[in-house]
């Protein structure tokens, strides 16, 4: 589409809509993209990011990353910093799949070693990690025990034999957002979530066996620091979140906020999908505590999935997962709100960071990332389509303008409905296998929705994040096996 005429180009990769663009804008809206990507963005991005710029308490800019596309409330790829004293918290700025995130796991195997066992690996992963709408996990929990999962996150997994201690060290916030309170969760959310630990879900969630080919390494020193040390090394990446539990938490509090936003707090928004409440209000704090429960459930979900992945590789190769080098690189969250301390106009300030389909990307030396990554910057995992590959990147010190936020994926270019009309799952599976990618999916329709052309070019998105100084490329990881929800 043609971008709005008022869109001003600030640099090769920064575009701005000034506060004069729309009545009520408190700060400018900034979009990070190349000229090609900006021209391909749907109209909803410009409408939504300027609506975000109208929210009370927003600081500096409303941000949209290079993978930006229309979402619920915020564009997917959106980020906003709020003053915690004067600003709001909005479920539309976090998303329904709270802490939908990415995890990357190493092996010391090469593609040549894995290739003869690839079909067996993918088949076993498909059986051991339930996927699809409504899937249930093997971990059976009472509601009381699920409350502990929601409050403890990955720490619960460590206590119960589903994690190695070092897993928590390389998980964002050690796999637990402090302050989660299960008392703020509805009975309906409990019903939807307590049996979903260790499940992949549907939509764009996946579990992928990938290869780090030598020609795809952009920064050899950082790749080595992240554990990519062997030519054609095999790694495992997966993408999932808090499933129906997080969806219900968001749904519950959106209704709560719609009931009090104008009547009690006198706040009006341009889009009811941006329903919000003052962060320091009772309703805002209740949602913040409930959201953290969904965040922690998602960390635990990914941790149990990793446990199953290690079991599968151990069974197939008849070796202990430690001997197979199955250590985590990192687990990074998107779809969260978090209190962080950042420099604003030369002064340190506490900010409530909303990241919706965007990822934290702390630079070298920053507090909050593992000691082992202090020199390199935080690992950043950006998922592409199942046909094209994904990226491992590193955070940069130059990311301060976006409060160290970067893209989270390639971003859709067509709706799921349109993709299902244009592609056939059966044919897609055959075509992918002919190109060396073995895939198992719960449904043909779900597979068609995730066809490569339904997404932006991941190479262009990642290049834009690097050119904008938000994160730098370390290695591209190409798929050879995939489990799709």
The Cα 308–Cα 163 span in angstroms is 11
pLDDT for 134: 72
| 66 found inside a domain | no
- Partnered with residue 78 across adjacent β-strands are 64, 356
| 50 found inside a domain | no
Q: What is the 3-state secondary structure (H, E, C) of 416-438?
A: HHHHHHHCCHHHHHHHHHHCCCE
| 142 found inside a domain | yes
pLDDT for 343: 96
* Distance of alpha carbon 329 from the chain centroid: 15
The Cα 210–Cα 64 span in angstroms is 28
The Cα 181–Cα 171 span in angstroms is 21
Strands 471-484, 438-441: parallel, antiparallel or unpaired by DSSP?
parallel
The Cα 481–Cα 122 span in angstroms is 6
CB-based contacts of 362: which residues, under 8 Å, 6+ apart? 368, 369, 377, 378, 395, 399, 404
The Cα 198–Cα 200 span in angstroms is 7
- pLDDT tens digits along 96-143: 999 999 999 999 999 999 999 999 999 999 999 988 777 787 888 998
**Is residue 198 pLDDT above 80, yes or no?**
yes
Q: What is the DSSP letter of 94?
A: T
> Structural domain of residue 333, as residue ranges?
101-413+455-484
Structural tokens at position 426 = 């059966």
| 92 found inside a domain | no
pLDDT for 425: 78
- DSSP code string of 285-341: HHHHHHHHHHHHHHHHHHHHHHHHHHHHHHHHHTS-TTTTT--EEEEEEEEEEEEEE
Strands 390-395, 29-32: parallel, antiparallel or unpaired by DSSP?
unpaired
Where b means 16+ CB within 10 Å and e means fewer, 412-430 reads bbbebeebbeebbbeebbe
The percentage of residues in the chain with a pLDDT greater than 70, rounded to a whole number, is: 100
**Is residue 455 pLDDT above 90, yes or no?**
no
Could you tell me where the DSSP H helices lie in 64-117? 111-114
**Dihedral angle over CA of 268, 270, 276, 278, nearest 10:** -50
- pLDDT tens digits along 307-364: 999 999 999 999 999 999 999 999 999 999 999 999 999 999 999 999 999 999 999 9
**Of 343, 439, 399, 455, which is closest to residue 125 (Cα–Cα)?**
439
Per the annotation, the verdict on 119 as an active-site residue is no
pLDDT for 1: 67
- pLDDT tens digits along 259-303: 999 999 999 999 999 999 999 999 999 999 999 999 999 999 999
- pLDDT tens digits along 138-194: 888 998 999 999 999 999 999 999 999 999 999 999 999 999 999 999 999 999 999
**Of 332, 338, 354, which is closest to residue 471 (Cα–Cα)?**
332
Structural tokens at position 391 = 């990226």
Name the 3-class secondary structure at 68. Answer: strand
| 471 found inside a domain | yes
Could you tell me where the DSSP H helices lie in 93-142? 111-114, 118-128
* Mean pLDDT, residues 45-51 taken together: 98
| 154 found inside a domain | yes
Domain count, the chain: 1
**Of 54, 80, 78, which is closest to residue 65 (Cα–Cα)?**
78
| 263 found inside a domain | yes
Place of tokens 């270019």: 413
**Is residue 400 pLDDT above 90, yes or no?**
yes
**Of 344, 336, 348, which is closest to residue 78 (Cα–Cα)?**
336
pLDDT for 135: 76
pLDDT for 55: 98
**Is residue 414 pLDDT above 90, yes or no?**
no
pLDDT for 327: 98
Structural tokens at position 279 = 């962060």
Q: What is the 3-state secondary structure (H, E, C) of 447-468?
A: HHHCCHHHECCHHHHHHHHHHC
The Cα 248–Cα 192 span in angstroms is 8
- Burial classification of residue 165, based on how many CB atoms lie within 10 Å of its CB (0-12 exposed, 13-18 middle, 19 or more buried): exposed
Phi/psi at 388 (5° precision): -115, -25
Does residue 445 or residue 69 have the better pLDDT? 69
CATH no. for residue 276?
3.90.1860.10
The percentage of residues in the chain with a pLDDT greater than 90, rounded to a whole number, is: 85
- DSSP code string of 243-258: HHHHHHHHHHHHHHHH
Catalytic residue, candidates 63, 354, 408, 417: 408
| 277 found inside a domain | yes
């Amino acid at each position: 589409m043609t971008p709005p005429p008022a869109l001003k180009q600030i640099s090769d990769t920064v575009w701005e809509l000034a506060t004069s663009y729309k009545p009520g804008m408190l700060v400018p809206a900034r979009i990070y993209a190349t000229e090609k990507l900006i021209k391909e963005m749907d109209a909803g991005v410009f409408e939504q990011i300027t609506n975000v710029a109208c929210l009370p308490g927003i600081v500096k800019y409303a941000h949209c990353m290079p993978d930006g596309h229309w979402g619920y409330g915020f564009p997917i790829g959106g980020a906003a910093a709020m003053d915690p004293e004067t600003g709001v918290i909005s479920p539309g700025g976090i998303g329904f799949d709270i802490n939908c995130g990415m995890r990357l796991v190493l092996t010391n195997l090469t593609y040549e070693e894995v290739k003869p066992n690839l079909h067996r690996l993918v088949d076993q992963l498909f059986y051991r990690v339930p996927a699809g709408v409504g899937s249930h996990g093997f971990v059976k929990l009472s509601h009381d025990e699920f409350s502990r999962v929601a409050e403890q996150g990955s720490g619960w997994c460590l206590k119960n034999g589903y994690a190695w201690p070092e897993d928590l060290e390389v998980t964002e916030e050690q796999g637990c957002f402090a302050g989660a309170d299960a008392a703020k969760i509805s009975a309906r959310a409990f019903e939807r979530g307590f049996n979903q630990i260790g499940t992949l879900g549907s939509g764009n969630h996946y579990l992928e066996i990938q290869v780090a080919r030598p020609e795809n390494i952009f920064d050899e020193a950082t790749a080595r620091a992240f554990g990519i040390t062997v030519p054609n090394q095999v790694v495992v990446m997966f993408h999932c979140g808090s499933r129906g539990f997080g969806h219900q938490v968001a749904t519950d509090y959106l209704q709560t906020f719609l009931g009090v936003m104008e009547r009690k707090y006198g706040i009006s928004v341009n889009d009811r999908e941006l329903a919000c409440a003052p962060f320091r209000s009772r309703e805002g704090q209740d949602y913040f505590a409930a959201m953290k429960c969904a965040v922690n459930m998602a960390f635990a979900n990914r941790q149990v999935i990793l446990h199953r992945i290690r079991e599968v590789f151990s069974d197939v190769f008849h070796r202990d997962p430690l001997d197979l080098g199955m250590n985590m690189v990192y687990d990074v969250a998107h779809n969260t709100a978090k209190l962080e301390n950042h420099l604003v106009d030369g002064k340190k300030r506490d900010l409530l960071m909303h990241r919706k389909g965007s990822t934290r990307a702390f630079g070298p030396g920053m507090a909050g990332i593992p000691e082992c990554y202090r020199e390199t910057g935080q690992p950043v995992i950006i998922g592409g389509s199942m046909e094209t590959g994904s990226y491992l990147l590193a955070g940069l010190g130059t990311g301060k303008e976006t409060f160290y936020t970067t893209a989270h994926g390639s971003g859709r270019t067509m709706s799921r409905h349109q993709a299902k009309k244009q592609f056939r799952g059966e044919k897609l599976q055959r075509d992918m296998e002919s190109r060396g990618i073995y895939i198992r999916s719960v449904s043909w329709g779900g597979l068609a929705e995730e066809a490569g052309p339904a997404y932006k070019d991941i190479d262009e998105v990642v290049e834009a994040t690097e050119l904008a100084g938000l994160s730098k490329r370390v290695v591209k990881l190409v798929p050879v096996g995939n489990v799709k929800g």
